[in-house]
Amino acid sequence: MEQKMDEINVVVLQTDIFPDQETLAEAIEQLQKTHRVWHFDATQTGNAERDWDQALLRLLDADRIIVV
């Protein structure tokens, strides 16, 4: 997928450490309108090793990382 000049790669790492999930979700929804956003739920205990491998690759490639 080709990236536009003003578009950035954003990784959203779901950790549930912040109580105001609604506000964070609204902000991330706005980001998705103009940027490439990938979500990873780190709270799931069923994540396989390949899931963590993909998350690591995305984190290394990200322009911005948002922990929510």
For 11-40, how does the pLDDT look when each residue is reduced to its tens digit (9 = 90+)?
Answer: 999 998 888 888 888 999 999 999 999 999
pLDDT at 45: 87
pTM across the whole model: 0.81
Contacts of 22 (CB under 8 A, 6+ apart): none
Evaluate whether residue 4 is within a structural domain: no
Q: How many domains does the chain have?
A: 1
2 part of a folded domain: no
Q: Is residue 28 in some structural domain?
A: yes
Q: How far is it, in rounded angstroms, from Cα 40 to Cα 59?
A: 10
Please give the share of the chain, as a percent, with pLDDT higher than 70.
93
